[in-house]
């Protein structure tokens, strides 16, 4: 390919009317969702084929895996990564359902909070793009069918919604609970049963079957995959949710067979028994222990059909208010401790008619997660014995801010205050170690400053400049989370509802939430509504390199790809994407981590981005042609 042709293709990619493409795909997805909701399978299949053959869908799929996704610089077994505009267009032309797949590249990554490791399968760039295209068509169909209390790996839903559903279930009545986990869920799903449940058209079924059977390369060894879905694939979370779809309905069917009580109808009996699931973690709640035990047997039988089983070490029977068979009251779920406490008439909760219940339902951070968080802070402080105060603050602030934002929707004030005290003690030891011959008062004056009304802030002393200070856990405001509507979906067309929810997400940083509200949920560049799948970046309208200030009136929220376009046109391209600049421009990005955990991070483009890629890769860039 000549240089002139390459330049033309680069211009073609940058000049694409992405707004028009996204609108076309969103309209098709909305039609798929509505057709699936009314049970019109023929229309669903016709629209899915149209979307997967469309140039718009292919372009958006390629853009997602090559520009938006955090793993865009991660190579599969073929070594392809970091595609240029020319390569992206070549990839778009090649995308087709051929029923073939290359093996995934296996790496082992640490499991948060444990010494265990879990396998991650990295597909090739081609397979990632094709999976993203299939997901565009498949997800709206299943979003119309998924059960209301399924919250993991679904657009528009988070672990806070699952916690909210549990609170709604138990806040008026103490109940027994089965807290369960599925053993190696992703690794043991039965392929035949999954494809049978998927029940899609033959071409797509063959392609998904090829991905499931593609095998993995662990080092230089090839291993077959006769079961399970590889973690790390674009479509893997959706397939896992499809495999587990039906658990809640099976429990509700059992509820209908329970003995009737006075005034109880069929609908009331279904509501009395709850199953709330987040990915492969779930809880079953009912006021009768015999019913909960029977549910455990029913679910175990149901899981056997998918080749799965409960993990005994993480399956527990308990009661929300009282001790049961030596087990403490309450249970842990998604990092939260959910428990009811006996309370007197002044502190007790009340039912819907104002009658005292005799207990109060409180949800707090779990002790295990508190310890993990504190250990991480301690580790950072120990690693920065000789670093400057500013460097220590820069490393600690994202850790504290992210953790506090995650737990700010529940009863965390006491926990935040306790952590603040523990962190202060660690910082005091850190400061005294640096100046063993100085008095305590001298050390305090050097490292702790008065900022506003707070007279005891761990902050740098910078004359004539804004000091850097350490964020405090208890400075985070407690804001109650509003649970997502049971039947709501981002594909239902209610853009006002979903744009509003994004700004109210407890894990969205304050800067992003403020800009979302200011921009009414729309990207300032393309004017399209942000969705739950959007990767957003905070941009300075006038670049800092040209005198722009770090204030809200000079900030806007953009899609990552829109930010790339804007930066290329405002003269600061070198500072955003290149390491040739003497002073690279920090990029603020909104990313997700464990349990949809949002974080606003500032990245230096020339540094290794630990949080952006799952593994480090080697090998040169290759053409896809």
The alpha carbon of residue 392 and the mean position of all alpha carbons in its chain are separated, in whole angstroms, by 27
In contact, 254 and 273? CB cutoff 8 Å: yes
Task: Identify the DSSP state of 490.
Answer: G
Segment 295-301 long-range contacts (CB within 8 Å, at least 24 positions apart): 295/178, 295/251, 295/254, 296/178, 296/180, 298/250, 298/251, 298/254, 299/180, 299/247, 299/250, 299/251
Nearest to 490 by CA among 157, 236, 161, 238: 157
Domain ranges of the chain: 3-145+191-226, 146-186+237-361, 369-475, 495-570
Alpha-carbon distance of 576 to 569, in angstroms, equals 12
Q: Is the pLDDT score of 326 beyond 50?
A: yes
pTM: 0.81
Report which of residues 396 and 77 the model is more confident about.
Answer: 396
CATH number for the domain whose boundaries are 495-570 = 1.10.30
In contact, 203 and 97? CB cutoff 8 Å: yes
Q: How far is CA 168 from CA 261, 340, 382, 410, 552, in A?
A: 22, 13, 42, 13, 37
User: Scanning the structure block, which residue is given the tokens 């063959």?
Assistant: 206
Average pLDDT on 286-309 reads: 94
The backbone torsions φ and ψ at residue 111, rounded to the nearest 5 degrees and listed phi first, read: -90, 125
Q: Is the pLDDT score of 612 beyond 50?
A: no
Q: What is the pLDDT of residue 230?
A: 76
CATH number for the domain whose boundaries are 146-186+237-361 = 3.30.70.270
Q: What is the pLDDT of residue 467?
A: 80
Report which of residues 577 and 349 the model is more confident about.
Answer: 349
Burial group, residue 438, by CB count within 10 angstroms (0-12, 13-18, 19+): middle
Q: Is the pLDDT score of 533 beyond 80?
A: no
Q: What is the pLDDT of residue 216?
A: 86
Confidence band for 165, pLDDT divided at 50, 70 and 90: very high
Mean pLDDT of the chain: 83
CA angle 167/168/170 to nearest 5° reads 65
- Percent pLDDT > 70 in the chain is 85
Radius of gyration (Cα) for the chain, nearest Å? 26
Q: Is the pLDDT score of 330 beyond 90?
A: yes
In contact, 554 and 560? CB cutoff 8 Å: no
Query: Strand, coil or helix: what is 455?
Result: strand
Average pLDDT on 306-319 reads: 92
Nearest to 13 by CA among 75, 87, 69, 94: 87
Report which of residues 94 and 593 the model is more confident about.
Answer: 94
Report which of residues 418 and 119 the model is more confident about.
Answer: 418
Average pLDDT on 263-292 reads: 87
Q: Which of 165-174, 397-406, 507-516 has the lowest mean pLDDT?
A: 507-516
Query: Strand, coil or helix: what is 567?
Result: helix
Q: Is the pLDDT score of 48 beyond 60?
A: yes
The Cβ-side half-sphere exposure at 522, using a 13 Å CA radius, reads: 10
Tokens of 602: 């500032």
Q: Is the pLDDT score of 3 beyond 60?
A: no
The Cβ-side half-sphere exposure at 32, using a 13 Å CA radius, reads: 28
Q: Is the pLDDT score of 249 beyond 90?
A: yes
User: Scanning the structure block, which residue is given the tokens 């009314």?
Assistant: 38
Alpha-carbon distance of 319 to 325, in angstroms, equals 10
Nearest to 112 by CA among 330, 371, 297: 371
Alpha-carbon distance of 352 to 349, in angstroms, equals 10
Residues 6 or more apart from 214 whose CB is under 8 A from it?
101, 102, 103, 104, 123, 127, 225, 230
Query: Strand, coil or helix: what is 484?
Result: coil
Between strands 448-451 and 454-458, the pairing is antiparallel
Report which of residues 472 and 590 the model is more confident about.
Answer: 472
3-state SS, one letter per residue, for 97-155:
CCCCCCCEEEEEEECCCCCCEEEEEECCHHHHHHHHHHHHHHHHHHHCCCCCCECCCCC
Alpha-carbon distance of 412 to 402, in angstroms, equals 14
The Cα diameter of the chain in Å comes to 82
Task: Identify the DSSP state of 314.
Answer: G
Q: Which residues pair with 318 in a beta bridge?
A: 177
Q: Is the pLDDT score of 577 beyond 50?
A: no
Residues 6 or more apart from 231 whose CB is under 8 A from it?
118, 119, 120, 121, 186
Q: What is the pLDDT of residue 344?
A: 87
In contact, 237 and 154? CB cutoff 8 Å: no
The backbone torsions φ and ψ at residue 274, rounded to the nearest 5 degrees and listed phi first, read: -125, 140
Q: Is the pLDDT score of 308 beyond 90?
A: yes
- Percent pLDDT > 90 in the chain is 46
Taking each continuous run of H as one helix and of E as one strand, the counts in the chain are: 22, 17
Query: Strand, coil or helix: what is 269?
Result: helix
The alpha carbon of residue 90 and the mean position of all alpha carbons in its chain are separated, in whole angstroms, by 31
In contact, 516 and 537? CB cutoff 8 Å: no
Q: Which of 194-203, 231-240, 366-375, 499-508 has the lowest mean pLDDT?
A: 499-508
Q: What is the pLDDT of residue 506?
A: 59
Q: Is the pLDDT score of 1 beyond 80?
A: no
The continuous run of DSSP H or E covering 587 comes out as: strand 587-592
User: Taking the C-alpha atoms of 105, 49, 158 and 587 in order, what is their torsion angle to the nearest 10 degrees?
Assistant: 60
User: Scanning the structure block, which residue is given the tokens 């969103």?
Assistant: 26
Task: Identify the DSSP state of 459.
Answer: B
pLDDT digits (tens, 9 = 90+) for 579-608: 333 334 444 444 443 333 343 333 333 332
Residue 428 CB neighbours (<10 A): 16
């Amino acid at each position: 390919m000549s240089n002139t042709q390459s330049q033309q293709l680069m211009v073609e990619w940058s000049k694409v009317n992405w707004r028009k493409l996204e609108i076309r795909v969103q309209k098709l997805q909305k039609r798929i969702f509505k057709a699936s909701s009314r049970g019109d399978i023929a229309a669903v299949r016709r629209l899915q084929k149209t979307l997967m053959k469309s140039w718009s869908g292919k372009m958006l799929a390629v853009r997602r895996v090559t520009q938006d996704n955090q793993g865009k610089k991660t190579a599969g077994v073929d070594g392809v990564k970091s595609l240029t505009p020319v390569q992206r267009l070549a990839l778009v032309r090649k995308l087709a359902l051929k029923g073939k797949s290359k093996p995934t590249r296996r790496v082992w990554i640490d499991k948060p909070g444990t010494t265990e490791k879990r396998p991650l399968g990295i597909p090739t760039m081609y397979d990632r793009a094709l999976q993203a295209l299939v997901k565009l068509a498949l997800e709206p169909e299943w979003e119309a069918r998924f059960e209301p209390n399924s919250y993991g790996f679904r657009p528009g839903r988070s672990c806070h919604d699952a916690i909210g559903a549990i609170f709604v279930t138990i806040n008026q009545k103490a109940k027994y609970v089965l807290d369960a986990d599925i053993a190696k869920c992703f690794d043991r799903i039965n392929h035949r049963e999954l494809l049978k449940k998927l029940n899609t058209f033959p071409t797509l079924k063959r392609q998904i079957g090829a991905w499931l059977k593609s095998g993995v390369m662990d080092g230089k060894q090839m291993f077959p995959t006769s079961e399970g879905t590889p973690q790390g694939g674009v479509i893997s979370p959706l397939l896992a949710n499809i495999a587990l779809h039906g658990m809640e309905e099976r429990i509700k069917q059992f509820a209908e067979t329970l003995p009737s009580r006075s005034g109880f109808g069929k609908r009331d009996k279904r509501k009395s028994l709850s199953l709330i699931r987040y990915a492969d973690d779930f809880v079953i709640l009912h006021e009768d222990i015999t019913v909960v035990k029977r549910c455990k047997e029913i679910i175990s039988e149901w899981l056997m059909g998918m080749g799965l089983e409960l993990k005994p070490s993480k399956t527990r029977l308990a009661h929300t208010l009282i001790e049961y068979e030596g087990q403490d009251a309450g249970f842990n779920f998604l990092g939260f401790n959910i428990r009811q406490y006996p309370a007197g008439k002044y502190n007790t909760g009340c039912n819907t008619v104002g009658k005292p219940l005799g207990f109060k339902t409180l949800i707090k951070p779990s002790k295990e997660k508190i310890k993990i968080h504190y250990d991480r802070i301690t580790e950072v402080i120990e690693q920065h014995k000789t670093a400057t105060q500013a460097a220590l603050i820069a490393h600690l602030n994202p850790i504290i801010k992210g953790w506090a934002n995650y737990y700010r929707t529940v009863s965390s004030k006491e926990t935040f205050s306790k952590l603040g005290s523990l962190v202060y003690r660690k910082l005091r030891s850190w400061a005294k170690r640096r100046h063993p011959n100085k008095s305590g008062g001298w050390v305090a004056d050097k490292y702790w400053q008065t900022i506003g009304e707070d007279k005891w802030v761990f902050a740098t002393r910078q004359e004539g400049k804004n000091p850097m200070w350490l964020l405090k856990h208890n400075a985070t405001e407690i804001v109650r989370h509003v649970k997502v509507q049971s039947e709501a979906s981002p594909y239902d067309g209610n853009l006002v509802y979903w744009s509003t929810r994004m700004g109210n997400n407890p894990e969205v940083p304050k800067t992003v939430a403020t800009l979302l509200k200011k921009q009414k949920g729309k990207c300032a560049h393309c004017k399209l509504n942000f969705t739950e799948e959007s990767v957003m970046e905070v941009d300075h309208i006038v670049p800092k390199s040209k005198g722009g200030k770090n204030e809200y009136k000079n900030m806007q929220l953009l899609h990552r790809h829109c930010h790339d376009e804007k930066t290329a046109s405002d003269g600061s391209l070198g500072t955003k994407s290149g390491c040739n600049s003497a002073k690279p421009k920090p990029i603020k990005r909104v990313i997700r981590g464990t349990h949809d955990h949002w974080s606003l991070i500032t990245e230096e483009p020339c540094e290794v981005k630990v949080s952006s890629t799952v593994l480090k890769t080697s090998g040169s860039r290759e053409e896809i042609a």
